[in-house]
């Protein structure tokens, strides 16, 4: 008998009232372990109403008090780390260490917003004209919504709601229906940390829930992380409904390996960047671009045995380096891409298709795959595969290698491995990419900087977390004020009760 999950609304667990449910699988075994209620439009509107009712009081709560709630939430996450990682791994499939790493990256954002009183300080200009002062303040947007993906069910929600709440907004989270338990537990911990009822609500659902959030006039801003096709739809629909929208979308991240690079360092880097979390992350390196045949041969020769020996297993196996992918459909899609690449002429140096583990024959496992001599016209190069597949695209020169990055549809991340500062500087300055690494394979910014791509990897004007996140979740108000000069004799001043000061 599978466990039935719930929504979290107005500070309480709420049983789903409809008759629609989604199945949650253990990706290592394929078995259904839980059922999640898929919210109706009315249930979503109930969560929005709860957030709207809580907004006025929370918006005027002093930033220092909001920060104290965030300090408490930080402590809650630390003390419940093992529990959260277990929830995450059991539904997503990634290793426990990988899960803890992603939770820790979300925790960094919580720690960033613990300093929200400093971040929200406005600007002040005295005497912009005779007797006139001008100042700017940042105020909450209102009720915000977050639509988050399956691949990081703790980290990505923590990129959103802590920033929104610290800025004085209230929030409705719609986690992925494939692995929602971590998001639900985070909301409970937020409430236990002292957040007032209604400030953070969680509704589980599918397209009906998403469309309600996008169209309901009670929602003022929407954040999204996921695929480009859905991100474009969310941006266009939400913007047409008058909402502020940030949509972080798909990627095809290149890693250039120059002839002067440390090949051992590059191989070590790409192992984690391409195959960590089974490649199910938007910042995964999925294209390696060695410059020159000698560089390519050395790179592939050293990389192949590492990929071949990659330990794949369930999250309960502490020696596993990579777990299964999220669903059977994902496994089949990834293997189709490998089929297409080989049929188009790619060389399967390491083939991860057909992997079956004893005792886990029904699990959604795909082995690490290394395809060499991939060309830019192949689907394994053009499309985001979202799996443990690395394509090697050999190029004769740095100029040709950089052009691959410039020409690709996506612009999330890119990296270059080189010892030459001039080459590295040219690459960082001239590529049309949102996040760039120099001898760093996954250039995800720390929490006090901001995360976001270019081109088809981002719709909207703001990246996520850091100061860009604060700007997204606040509106700028600029005040210009003139006060009569001079104190009038005999003027009467009224003071609030309890004041122990008076003018002299």
Residues carrying an active site annotation: 282
User: Rounded to the nearest 5°, which phi and psi values hold at 72?
Assistant: -65, -40
SS3 for 48-101, per residue?
HHHHHHHHHHHHCCCHHHHHHHHHHHHHHHHHCHHHHHHHHHHHHCCCHHHHHH
Residues 6+ apart with CB under 8 A from 323: 27, 28, 89, 92, 93, 94, 95, 98, 278, 312, 313, 314, 315
E-strand ranges in 268-330 read 285-290
DSSP string covering 319-371, please?
Answer: T-SB---S-HHHHHHHHHHHHHHHHTT-EEEE--TT---TT-TTS-----EEE
Give the span between the Cα atoms of 228 and 54, in whole angstroms.
Answer: 33
The greatest distance separating any two alpha carbons of the chain, rounded to the nearest whole angstrom, comes to 93
Cα–Cα distance for residue pair 109/127, rounded to 1 Å: 37
Centroid of chain to Cα 190: 19
Alpha-carbon Rg for the chain, nearest whole angstrom, is 25
Alpha-carbon span 274 to 26, nearest angstrom: 23
Say if CB 280 and CB 387 are below 8 A apart: yes
**Alpha helix segments (H runs only) across 114-200:** 116-119, 155-166, 181-192
Q: Reduce the DSSP state of residue 318 to 3 states and report it.
A: coil
**How much of the chain is helix, strand and coil, in % rounded to 5?**
40, 20, 40
Q: Residues 405, 254: contact at Cβ < 8 Å?
A: yes
Please calculate the CA angle 234-236-241 and round it to the nearest 5 degrees.
95
Contact 276, 284 (CB under 8 A): yes
Ramachandran class of 451: left when φ > 0, alpha when ψ lies in -120 to 50, beta otherwise: beta
Whats the size of the chain, residue-wise? 504
Is there a contact between 187 and 8 (Cβ–Cβ < 8 Å)? Answer: yes
């Amino acid at each position: 008998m599978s466990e039935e999950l719930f929504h979290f609304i107005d500070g309480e667990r709420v049983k789903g009232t409809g008759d629609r449910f989604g199945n949650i699988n253990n990706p290592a075994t394929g078995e259904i372990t839980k059922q999640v209620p898929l919210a109706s439009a009315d249930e979503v509107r109930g969560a929005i109403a709860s957030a709207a009712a809580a907004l006025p009081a929370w918006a005027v709560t002093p930033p220092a008090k909001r920060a104290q709630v965030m300090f408490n939430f930080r402590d809650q996450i630390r003390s419940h780390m093992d529990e959260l990682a277990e929830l995450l791994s059991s539904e997503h499939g990634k290793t426990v260490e990988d899960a803890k790493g992603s939770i820790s990256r979300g925790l960094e954002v919580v720690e960033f917003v613990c300093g929200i009183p400093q971040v929200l300080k406005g600007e002040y200009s005295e005497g912009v004209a005779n007797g006139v002062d001008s100042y700017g303040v940042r105020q909450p947007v209102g009720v915000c919504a977050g639509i988050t993906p399956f691949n990081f069910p703790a980290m990505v929600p923590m990129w959103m709601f802590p920033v929104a709440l610290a800025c004085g907004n209230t929030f409705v989270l719609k986690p992925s229906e494939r692995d929602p338990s971590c998001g639900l537990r985070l909301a409970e911990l937020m409430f236990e940390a002292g957040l007032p009822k209604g400030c953070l609500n969680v509704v589980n659902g599918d397209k009906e829930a998403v469309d309600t959030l996008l169209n309901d006039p009670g929602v003022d801003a929407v954040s999204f992380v996921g695929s480009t096709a859905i991100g474009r739809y969310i941006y266009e629909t939400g913007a047409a409904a008058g909402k502020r929208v940030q949509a972080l979308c798909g990627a095809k991240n290149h890693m250039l390996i120059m002839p002067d690079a440390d090949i051992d360092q590059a191989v070590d880097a790409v192992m984690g960047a391409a195959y960590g979390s089974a490649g199910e992350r938007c910042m995964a390196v999925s294209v390696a671009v060695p410059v020159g045949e000698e560089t390519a041969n050395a790179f592939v020769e050293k990389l192949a045995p590492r990929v071949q020996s990659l330990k794949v297993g369930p999250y309960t196996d502490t020696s596993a380096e990579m777990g299964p992918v999220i669903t059977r459909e994902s496994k089949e899609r990834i293997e189709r891409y490998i089929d297409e690449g080989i049929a188009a002429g790619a060389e399967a140096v390491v083939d991860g298709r057909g992997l079956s583990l004893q005792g886990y024959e029904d699990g959604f496992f795909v082995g690490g795959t290394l395809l060499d001599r991939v060309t830019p016209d192949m689907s394994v190069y053009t499309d985001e595969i979202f799996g443990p597949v690395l394509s090697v695209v050999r190029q004769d020169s740095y100029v040709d290698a950089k052009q691959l990055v410039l020409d690709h549809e996506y612009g999330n991340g890119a990296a270059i491995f080189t010892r030459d500062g001039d080459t590295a500087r040219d690459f960082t300055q001239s590529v049309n990419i949102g996040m760039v690494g120099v001898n760093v394979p996954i250039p995800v910014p720390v929490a006090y900087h901001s995360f976001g791509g270019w081109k088809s990897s981002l719709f909207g004007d703001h990246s996520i977390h850091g100061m860009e996140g604060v700007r997204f979740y606040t509106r700028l108000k600029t005040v210009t004020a003139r006060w009569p000069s001079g104190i009038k004799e005999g003027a009467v001043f009224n003071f609030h009760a309890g004041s122990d000061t008076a003018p002299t």
